[in-house]
Structure 1
């Protein structure tokens, strides 16, 4: 028996989502499927070397009917398989040409086993290891081509590559370098923090509250990277995170909230231009912080559950939407500050100071736009186009862009005694007045 035509619009988006959305880190996973009628369920996405292996253990299998008149399912119509990205288009073409086509019959998949191989009831169990001799990035799917059936089962999956010494590497071929990468960047941020503490101590008489908040941002960025390195290391060696993922999510949440808060506070001129926030600026923070709570909740769900849950695609969409809203929201305070400075420059008689401030905030505006554009669009493009063996390149690019952003931002707003805002002579003042008349600082 084959899947009814109504399954066609459900299969194609799922297959596309499997290759476009960022997958969870592959590791040892134990999960339970309860009365699930989906035509396809994505379990893992993993880059295999020539020594790759897949171990699947299934037990407590029960195939039920969605209606009393539903036909008895054929066991060979339910099973697990691997699908490479190169074969995706061919499978989609087969499904489009024949709406009744069962993906388990495709010549472009690597079939693993079907329910026909299960032990006879009441055992209904299966445990098998499969070598993956053709190195590539594959997605592990379960397909249900039996009409009007719902499946319940407990599944344990292990996907790994073997190192030269025979040990198992549970990180995908393109992510196996991440522990070393994150360790290197964590040491860089620790050194950065030490330099920042020295600068603030040396200029302690003029240190503002924003400089302390910036120091906290560096601290939690370093802690976040340390936990990320340990998390990936334990997954690489054992297949499980051993609790490092909890610390990773905690520090990631604090780090992201601090980052957006620092950008908003600098953008409003807090501690630099004025010691208070206006009502509209407070509203930006009141919007950004709760949204970051929601975004990090979505990040935890995406990272800790996996694509096999029914709402995985929805949580990805929530995360992307919230992230876009936050990125747009933090731009407004910078724009407000630039416009406020332009208006003030016409009345307070301090053209040179206002010109310097305008230039600084315009540079900061460009810096923030570049950072958001690169980490949201360019990094995503790298993840999409890079070969599976070089997935770590997108992580390296993202961390490098973040480091450059931090260095430039901290340099622009560092505590200095000879502040360019206040050391102004008459000649500079006159030149600034002319520049303000000629220059257009509108965005």
Structure 2
């Protein structure tokens, strides 16, 4: 099967996405009448004691050719660097099928079927690296159907216990648990602060408490989910709780940013219509993002629509991140216009000027967690993929701490109270700004 240039780059993109976003445990996959030349199933970071148990059943091949060359159908392992080399070999017609490449590790080819509709393979992987399990169909006229059960794990310790988490992620249960403890401590501190400052507490402070609690519960469920996957290869229901709390955490966090950006509760007790519309957009989009996350995690990259759902998730996330910035900009703009004719508005302008710091922090937080963390995951060795998770979670924790500190219930908090001297300074700053613009 020579791969022409019009499919070369789509295949490269597809496999690159599978390397970046798929996860591995015990995976059940159903392939039905699929004629794709390449079907990636799962990636896994193997140590020198890696194992694959591949069970394929209900194999059905529909073809007009009564005697197809079954050596051109089968499963193989490939690393990211090796896959780029394979694609180049196909492009240069050095080989006609990925299974013929000398840089892939053959797991099973269908010429060994011998009039049976199933096979079981126990594959020992002693070369430590990050591999993707791929099915190749180099016969364009064949549509393949089969049920695939893939189990990848590493043996650890003297007793050879199974670790179903990839080599770069095996430490994640401990990391998520430690982070959840930190958030629960943060929750206790926030409760203490609110209790001590009841006279200056606004409704937004209780909403902030709910956001922190949901984040702590989300991390705890993720720690338990990863822990069970590490031991058994399955989340045992913890994945359901993780998805629920992840959904609630996402909605409340974006809502909190909108509410703080508009000054709701501590500057004004209401939201304008356009600010309500932002929330009406963000919340349904978070529902879509949560559905996309479930489909991505549960199905894996072998599905026809996996890349589409991944693109939907990224698009929705970008839209939400952009949408929550608009209310902050609107508030600053409106108060700036009102301050030109209203001395008291200058006070509020000083407050919203301080909000610019929050606006910058929000942008930095979004940029770091969406771009920098993605780059870290791309360039980091498979053994240290946990570092990108730690970087993203520490950035999130820093954002929560910054928000809590700046918007804490405090009598002399500049976000809430400005005295007469600060009011005069605000009017003077406004006058100088107008002179500068002229």
Q: TM-score, normalised by structure 2?
A: 0.95
Number of corresponding residues = 433
Counterpart of 2:217 in structure 1 is 223
2: distance between equivalents of 1:308 and 1:20? 11
Is 2:105 the partner of 1:104?
no
Counterpart of 2:379 in structure 1 is 385
1: distance between equivalents of 2:430 and 2:171? 51
- 5 Å-filtered alignment, 1:241-390, equals 241-350=235-344, 353-390=347-384
1: distance between equivalents of 2:410 and 2:198? 10
- 8 Å contact kept, 1:352–1:428: no
- 8 Å contact kept, 2:89–2:95: no
Selected match of 1:75 from 50, 70, 79: 70
2: distance between equivalents of 1:99 and 1:437? 73
State the Cα RMSD in Å: 1.9
Is 2:170 the partner of 1:176?
yes
Is 2:109 the partner of 1:114?
yes
2: distance between equivalents of 1:25 and 1:205? 49
Is 2:13 the partner of 1:16?
yes
After TM superposition, give the deviation of residue 23 of structure 1 in Å. 2.6
- 5 Å-filtered alignment, 1:200-219, equals 200-219=194-213
- 8 Å contact kept, 2:3–2:90: no
Counterpart of 1:42 in structure 2 is 40
- 8 Å contact kept, 2:35–2:141: yes
2: distance between equivalents of 1:198 and 1:5? 64
2: distance between equivalents of 1:164 and 1:358? 57
**1:60/1:11 Cα in 2 relative to 1: closer, same or farther (>3 Å)?**
farther
- 8 Å contact kept, 1:174–1:389: yes
Q: TM-score, normalised by structure 1?
A: 0.94
**1:34/1:19 Cα in 2 relative to 1: closer, same or farther (>3 Å)?**
same
2: distance between equivalents of 1:15 and 1:113? 23
SS at match of 1:172: coil
1: distance between equivalents of 2:94 and 2:145? 25
2: distance between equivalents of 1:419 and 1:187? 28
2: distance between equivalents of 1:113 and 1:12? 26
Selected match of 2:400 from 406, 421, 426: 406
SS at match of 1:187: helix
1: distance between equivalents of 2:369 and 2:316? 15
Is 2:231 the partner of 1:237?
yes
Selected match of 1:138 from 128, 131, 134: 131
SS at match of 1:205: helix
Gaps of at least 5 residues in structure 2 are: none
